[in-house]
Structure 1
Amino acid sequence: MCGIIGIVRASDMPVPGRDVGLAMNDAIVHRGPDDGGIFRSDDALLGMRRLAIIDVAGGQQPVGSDDGRVQLVFNGEIYNYRTLRAELSALGHTFRSASDTEVILRAYLQWGEGAIARLEGMFGLAIWDGRHHRLVLARDRLGKKPLFLWQTPHYLAFASEMKSLLAIPGFSRRIDTSVFGAFFAFGYVPTPRSIFQDVVKLPPGHYAVFESGRLRYQKYWDLDFQPAFRGSESDAREELAAVLDKAVSDRLVADVPFGAFLSGGLDSSVVVALMARHLSQPVRTFSIGFREARYSELSDARRVAQHLGTDHHEQVVEPDATTLVEQLVWHLDEPFADSSALPTFLVSQLAARQVKMVLSGDGGDEAFAGYDRYLRFLALDRLGPLRSVLALGLDGVGRLLPGMRGFRLRRIAQRLRVPFPDSYLSGVALSRPEQIRQILADDAASTHPYTALHGLFAADDRRPVLDRIVDADIRSYLLDDILVKLDRMSMAASIEGRAPLLDHRVVEFAVRLPPSMRVRGGRGKHLLREVARRWLPSDILDKPKQGFAIPLSEWLRGPLGQMAADLFGSRAFRERGWLQPGNVDGLLQAHRAGTADHGETLWQVLCMELWARRFVDAARA
């Protein structure tokens, strides 16, 4: 696991010196505290920071071909590298190390761009082919590892984290205010765009080739919901058990101590149960909880740990939220408002005291339709024409009820009135469109905040509605929220996070199941839960779902509320011109008084303002 950087020239202007490469590397030293390296030629500058997981002694980067004309930097892990190495050895390739990095290089030398589709794992990589003056960039199928690109008339630059690009002389920090609506709707900036006008994210399942000053994109994988699974449920259980077991066993290859995050929920419990089947020593598991009982799953995690006999480590945290949020802003690169990044960071810090790699349960909710919002939307969708009647009734009752009860009923009524896909997106969104328009400055409020995701819902799509919303979530929420959170927070603690439930074969199998094998009896993850009964007791599997949440609304009526008041009342905030300060003040006052719950929206404003101070104001200073 590493962080990678690079610059390739597109004109007669020389490539920046090694000092720029070192500064770009220094910005992401947390991603690779074990080692670093720089390659520079007349045409290209490549660098990396390394977290040594496989071939600790021999896996240094950049790694070059025998003649030095092809150079590779790579972030991630390739789980089928031993199979590829054997195939390449049979073709006459000789290896100097035992690393998966060198396997990628020699696969490229053998198969060219076709090598990328042969890689199974998580990766962001760059290959400078000096023989043809060509740069090849690639990202894994589901987007577990990030890759940012900045193109100018003179250069193409790339980095695992956008903060590395800021170290390049002349980097443009022009803000793209048109993404503000999407950020306040969903809590992230959707791929391929970024908060900066001139920076894009390489889409997952793609590689890009930069040659003769031109950049072309090529898709090498796409998630296909066909062919649909046609076997019996018994057949499905056997096939799922096998594909899960392989996904976990593939991710147990490491030359350093490793463990697992354990929340006590279904997904992480399944991962730990399968790890235990393959390891001769107890699995090291890590859990955190908050003092507020309803935000803590420690008792559930403890029960799973006892059942599986893990070497369990837990901690009740009372974090200094005002300090932590500033740390998160630095590591997340862009405005990012999923508050569960905070507990993910804390559990990563806990694990980092003992291990350098962890397995997590991320991805199960998307692939196996586990989110409660899927169930709520399916229930609303079944109402058909009755939706408008119900909306009228709920709105009327909501106006009669005081406080939060009436507020929530009116929100449900609003959702019932809008057509698909906004009827689904309104259940995903953190803030309502009218509230977003209320706080955004006029130029940023002109576009409907859901527009950024409308392209995920083709009008002629005849698939079941469950498949349509799951597909959209995998291409948006999973990609730009869940995977960003896992990558940045684990890397912030200098540990590697692996997600077996996001093995592309697991995801492909899950989304091809009929909806009845994913959602049944008012619950999601039906088939996954049934398979898990082989390894876990019913009291663990049948408990209500609980997210990895923090007491956000309560904190914003406490210390975070005061921090927000200070920031929102500052001259910098009022003169920035992005938001309408008076309306933001009104939301904060209503929230602190307890007459409404604006916790998510206020958190978004807070994250954006702290980001602006760190990445915009600091640069100007």
Structure 2
Amino acid sequence: MCGIIGVVGDGRREVPSAEVGEAMNAAIIHRGPDDGGLHRERDALLGMRRLAIIDLAGGHQPMLSDDGRVVLVFNGEIYNFRRLRRELEALGQRFRTDSDSEVILAAYLAWGRDAVQRLEGMFAFAIWDGRERRLLLARDRLGKKPLFVREHDGQLAFASELKSLLALPGFRREVDLGVLPAYFAFGYVPTPRSVFQGVHKLPPGHYAEFDAGGYRQHRYWRPTSTPVFTGSEAEAEERLAGLLHEAVADRLVADVPFGAFLSGGLDSSVVVALMARQMSRPVKTFSIGFREARYSELSDARRVATHLATEHHELVVEPDATAMVERLVWHLDEPFADASALPTYLVSELAAREVKMVLSGDGGDEAFAGYDRYLRLLALERLGALRGPAALALRIGGRLLPGRHGFRLRRIGERLGLGLADRYLSGVALSRPEQTIALIGEAGREGYASLHPLFHRGDVRPLLDRIVEVDLHSYLPDDILVKLDRMSMAASLEGRAPLLDHRVVEFALRLPVGLRVRDGRGKHLLRQVARRWLPAEVLDKPKQGFGIPLDEWFRGPLGGMAADLFASRAFRERGWVHPAAAEDLLARHRGGGENHAESLWQLLCLELWARRFIDGAGGG
């Protein structure tokens, strides 16, 4: 697990100096405190910071071919590297180390760009081929590892984190204000755009090439729900159990101490159960909770830990939210408003005291249809031809019924009247369009538009397959995996997600809807398989998100911090947000009658990001 940086040119002018490369590397030293390296020639500058997990003595990067003409920098882990190594040795390749990095380099030398499709794992890497004067960039199938790219004046720069690119000579911090509507709708900047003009993200499942002919991007993997699995439920259970066992086994390869995040929910509990079955010592598990009981799952995690006899570590935290949010903004790189990043960072810090790598349960909700919003949309769709009359009746009823219940009826009625894309996205969004319009003006109407291309016209697949695919292209890589990567890396901790093994995901997507959703609940098949290893109270408990007491905090210290920011000259002169609308939102929340914590968190994170990366020097 590492961070990578680089600049390559088309031959017209020399790449930046080694000092620039060192500065780019220094910005991400938290990603790799164990080792660092830099390679520079006239047309290529490549660097990395290393968190050593496999082959601690070997694996130094940048890694060069025997003739020194091909150079690799790599972030991630390749889980099938030993199988690939045997295949490459049979082809005559020789190895100097026991690292997965060298296997990537050898695979490229043997198979060229086709090597990307043979790799199983999480990765973002760059290979400079000095023989062909060509750069190859690649990102893993589901987007676990990040890669930002900037093409400018005949040179292409890349980095694991956006902050490294700020060290480039002449980099202009020009904000792409066109991403603000999407940010206020969803709390993140959707791929492929970034918050800065001229910088984009290489999408998951893609590789790109850059040479004198320019930049070219290619997709090598796409999630698909076809062909549909046609076996029996018992056969599906056996197949899934085998895939989960293999996915966890692959991720237990490490030369350092490791453990697991454990929330007590289904996904993390399944991962820990499979670890316990394959390890000769107790699994080290890590959980955090808050003083506010409704935000804490410590009792659930403790129950699972006892059942599986883990070496359990837990912590009840009362963080200084005003100090924490500024630290999160620095590590998250872009405006990012999923507040569960805070507990993810805290549990990463807890785990990093004991281990250097953890397994997590991320990905189960997308692969196995676990989100409640999927169930709510399916319920809306069952109204079918009655959608129009039902929408009208609900809106009228909502006006007649006072309070929260009336609001909910009106809200459902409004959603029924929308097209499919906005009907789904309105159930995902953090802010409604009218609120975004109040904050940033008429551009707020475009909040959902960035994800409209993911809804394909004429798609006849089951609705569940269509909306899960939308999340696999947006919410998963741009929110869930950003949070896991940045927050674990902020603590110099590697996070691995077995439920996002691409073989598991491919199998889950091909399951009939009835094997994923049954009796009003998602994750049916996963839950059935988990009954082999976990007690019923774990499997049948209601779903609980990884939340924090934001509403209370904005009536306390975060409210004071937000009030000062909204009243500041910098906020008013920036002109991105209408100050009066922000102040009104805060006043209504602090009054106690309304809860606008998520929108206030968005505003707070955006302004703190601007102060750090636009007004300030962008230092750590």
Same fold (TM over 0.5): yes
Number of the residue aligned with 2:132: 132
Q: CA deviation at 1:413?
A: 3.0
Aligned to 1:23: 23
Q: Which aligned pairs between 1:207-356 and structure 2 lie closer than 5 A?
A: 207-356=207-356
| Deviations, residues 241-281 of structure 1 (Å, cap 9, x unaligned) | 00000000000000000000000000000000000011000
CA distance in 1, matches of 2:337, 2:407: 22
**For 1:200-244, what per-residue CA distance to the aligned partner results, in whole angstroms no more than 9, with x for missing partners?**
000111100001050001111111211100000000000000000
Contact 2:163–2:618, Cα closer than 8 Å, also in 1:
no
- Matching residue within 484, 490, 493 for 1:492: 490
| Cα displacement string for residues 56-96 of structure 1 (whole angstroms, at most 9, x for unaligned residues) | 01111000000111000000000000011111111111111
In structure 2, the partner of 1:158 is 158
Structure 1 partner of 2:435: 435
Give the letter aligned to residue 75 of structure 2.
N
Query: Is the contact between residue 612 and residue 618 of structure 2 (CA under 8 Å) also seen in structure 1?
Result: no
- The secondary structure found in structure 1 opposite 2:4 is strand
Displacement of 1:385: 3.6
Question: Per-residue deviation at 1:10?
Answer: 2.5
Q: Secondary structure at the match of 2:237?
A: helix
2:177 maps to what in 1? 177
The answer (yes or no) to whether the contact 1:441–1:577 under 8 Å persists in 2 is no
| Structure 1 residue 396, shift from structure 2 partner | 3.9
C-alpha separation in 2, matches of 1:411 and 1:589? 23
Equivalence for 1:386: 386
1:516 alignment counterpart: 514
Q: Quote the residue 1:419 is aligned against.
A: 419
Q: 2:538 is matched with which residue?
A: 540
Deviations 1:522-550 (A, max 9, x none): 10000000000000011110000001011
**Aligned residue for 1:369?**
369
Check the 8 A contact 1:329/1:610 in 2, yes or no: yes
- The residue type equivalent to 2:179 in the other structure is V
Q: Which residue of 1 aligns with 2:87?
A: 87
How far is the alpha carbon of 1:383 from its aligned partner?
Answer: 1.2
How far off is 1:401 after superposition? Answer: 5.1
Per the TM alignment, residue 40 of structure 1 is displaced from its structure 2 partner at its CA by 0.2
| Residue of structure 1 equivalent to 2:73 | 73
More displaced stretch, 581-590 vs 160-169: 581-590
Alignment partner, residue 527 of structure 2: 529
**Cross-structure match for 2:470:** 472
Deviations 1:107-154 (A, max 9, x none): 101111111110000000000000111000000000100000011013
What's the CA shift for 1:404? 4.3
* TM-score, L = length of structure 2: 0.98
- The answer to whether the Cα contact below 8 Å between 1:143 and 1:483 also exists between their aligned partners in 2 is yes
TM-score (norm 1): 0.98
* 2:598 counterpart of 1:600: yes
- Name the stretch that deviates more: 85-94 or 8-17: 8-17
**SS, match of residue 421 in structure 1:** helix
* Aligned position for 1:568: 566
The residue that corresponds to 2:459 in the other structure is 461
Q: Provide the rounded CA distance (Å) in 1 between the counterparts of 2:441 and 2:463.
A: 35
CA distance in 2, matches of 1:461, 1:125: 34
2:206, 2:220 within 8 Å by CA — same for their partners in 1?
yes
Instruction: Write the distance in 2 (CA, Å) between the matches of 1:479 and 1:193.
Output: 13
Q: Answer whether contact 1:375 1:522 (CA < 8 A) is retained.
A: yes
Query: What is the DSSP-based 3-state SS (H/G/I as helix, E as strand, rest coil) of the residue aligned with 2:521?
Result: coil
Once the two structures are superposed, residues 560-599 of structure 1 have per-residue CA deviations (whole angstroms, 9 ceiling, x without a partner) of 1111111011110011011111111111111111232211
Gaps of 5+ in 2: none
What amino acid is aligned across from residue 378 of structure 2 in structure 1? L
CA distance in 1, matches of 2:53, 2:170: 35
* SS at structure 1 position matched to 2:142: coil
Whether 1:581 aligns to 2:579 is: yes
Taking structure 1 as reference, are residues 154 and 516 closer, same or farther at Cα in structure 2, changes over 3 Å only?
same
1:358 counterpart letter in structure 2: V
Q: Which whole-Å CA distance do the structure 2 matches of 1:404 and 1:488 have between them?
A: 37
- Aligned-pair identity (%): 71
Alpha carbons 1:38, 1:47 under 8 Å: kept: yes
Whichever residue aligns with residue 49 of structure 1, its letter is R
Unmatched tracts of structure 1, length 5 or more:
none
